[in-house]
Structure 1
Amino acid sequence: MTGRCPAAHPEDPTACVGPVVVTVLDAVNAGADGCEHHGARLLASLAGGRVYALPDAPQGAAIRVFKASAGIRPFCWVDGPRTEPSQFSAIENRARQGR
């Protein structure tokens, strides 16, 4: 693969980690295929997103992306203060709510 996977946001400076193995869909079923790294970062940035393993993906790829996304802040490559729940990771929001 040359370049980066389709799930990599144009402003995200990170390189792909591994091959394209998942499809990430948003709430209206628009989606992109990606490596586990960018799949997790994309999923973390979506409200109501879902992840599915591609047919040739290694065992557990989708669940790894799902679990990783819980600890990633939406649009994590954007600097600046974060004050709204939508700007924190799912794990951070659970901790802030005492769960």
Structure 2
Amino acid sequence: MTDLRCPAAHPEDPTPCVGPVAVTVLDAVNAGCNGCEHHGARLLASIEGGRVYPLPDAPAGAAIRTFTAAGSLRPFPWRTETQDAAPSLTNIADKLR
């Protein structure tokens, strides 16, 4: 990717994208957002009732890798313990719309 990050990258998350936009993350009410596997996993770990699906041109196994990675992450992994424990859920919800 260039200097632009995928749509799933939260504004507070400083990490770069890893690979192409390959998955769609949906929340419990089917609001969705496309992203790279890295940011898709971080988003999936931060929402309740989320699901992940590969995009049609995704590399084989992209959704499984994203789902597996999300399972090893805490919600809002870009937040440190010294930061506010409750990041803006509005930003996450807005990203999924």
Category of TM-score, reference length = shorter chain: 0.7 to 0.9
- Which 4+ runs in 1 deviate beyond 6 A? none
Shift of 1:79: 1.3
Higher RCO (C-alpha under 8 Å, 6+ residues apart): 2
1:90 paired residue number: none
Could you say which residue in structure 1 is the equivalent of 2:15? 14
Consecutive unaligned residues of structure 1, counting only runs of 5 or more, are 82-86, 88-99
Secondary structure of 1:28's counterpart equals coil
**Equivalent residue, structure 1, for 2:46:** 45
- SS of the equivalent of 1:64 reads helix
The one-letter code sitting in structure 2 at the alignment partner of 1:15 is P
After superposition, the C-alpha distances for 1:15-70 in whole angstroms (9 at most, x for unaligned) are 00010000000011111100000000000001000000000001110000000000
CA distance in 2, matches of 1:72, 1:3: 24
Seq. identity, %: 72
Question: How large is the Cα RMSD of the aligned pairs?
Answer: 1.5
Deviation of residue 80 (structure 1)? 1.6
Larger Rg: 1
Unaligned runs of 5+ in 2: 86-97
What code does the residue aligned with 2:63 have?
A: A
How many aligned positions are there? 82
Question: Matches of 1:53 and 1:32 in 2, distance apart?
Answer: 12
| TM-score normalised to structure 2 length | 0.80
Question: Corresponding residue for 2:32?
Answer: 31
Q: Distance in 2 between matches of 1:78 and 1:29?
A: 25
